[in-house]
């Protein structure tokens, strides 16, 4: 450990151990401090997202996502990489008034990151359809809030 410290201390004076700039909307590779979070708090992030669905406002749903994030949605083959693409997806998804319910979940916590993965069921008030799906939400603590950095959802392959 002392060798590493000394090895970095000497180049520090020469400017070699400076921190690398981080792109806007992205967490640094090495966090200087970790934002405390527990499983219950991460579980409420799904509730926040689901509540935003109930507004029927695609912009409010998209606001849950980091600028640099990916949405791999249940009912579209196209990955959504930009705010505009996510808004466009949710404009169509919200037409049938979806509401999600977690059936099974596993939450893993990291430093300024969390993963919530499992199974959920969507009920669509507009059509009466019920869709059972798998999901993964990854979150990062960015700009003082938890934002979705990736969201993958896929319908269950076997009919129940």
Is residue 114 in some structural domain? Answer: yes
What was the pLDDT predicted at 158?
81
- CA–CA gap between residue 50 and residue 99 (Å, rounded): 7
Which residues touch 81 (CB under 8 Å, ≥6 apart)? 69, 70, 71
Is residue 63 in some structural domain? Answer: yes
Is residue 18 in some structural domain? Answer: no
- Residue span of the structural domain in which 120 resides: 35-155
Is residue 28 in some structural domain? Answer: no
- CA–CA gap between residue 144 and residue 71 (Å, rounded): 22
What was the pLDDT predicted at 70?
98
Is residue 95 in some structural domain? Answer: yes
Is residue 111 in some structural domain? Answer: yes
SS3 81: coil
SS3 55: coil
Is residue 75 in some structural domain? Answer: yes
Is residue 91 in some structural domain? Answer: yes
**Whole-model pTM?**
0.79
Can you give the pLDDT of all 160 residues of the chain as single tens digits?
434 433 333 333 333 333 334 555 655 555 579 999 999 999 999 999 999 999 999 999 999 999 999 999 988 999 999 999 999 999 999 999 999 999 999 999 999 999 999 999 999 999 999 999 999 999 999 999 999 999 999 999 887 6
- CA–CA gap between residue 57 and residue 90 (Å, rounded): 8
What was the pLDDT predicted at 8?
38
Residue 50's CATH number: 3.10.450.50
Q: How many domains does the chain have?
A: 1
């Amino acid at each position: 450990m002392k060798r590493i410290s000394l090895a970095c201390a000497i180049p520090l004076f020469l400017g070699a151990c400076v921190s690398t700039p981080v792109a806007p909307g992205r967490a640094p590779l090495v966090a200087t401090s970790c934002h405390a979070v527990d499983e219950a708090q991460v579980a409420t992030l799904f509730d926040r997202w689901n509540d935003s669905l109930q507004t029927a406002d695609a912009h409010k749903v998209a606001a849950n996502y980091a600028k640099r994030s990916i949405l791999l949605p249940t009912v579209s083959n196209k990955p959504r990489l930009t705010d505009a693409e996510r808004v466009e997806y949710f404009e169509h998804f919200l037409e049938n008034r979806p509401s999600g319910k977690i059936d099974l979940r596993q939450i893993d916590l990291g430093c300024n990151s969390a993963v919530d993965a499992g199974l959920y069921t969507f009920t669509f008030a507009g059509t009466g359809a019920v869709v059972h799906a798998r999901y993964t939400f990854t979150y990062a603590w960015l700009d003082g809030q938890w934002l979705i950095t990736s969201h993958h959802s896929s319908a269950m392959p076997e009919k129940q």
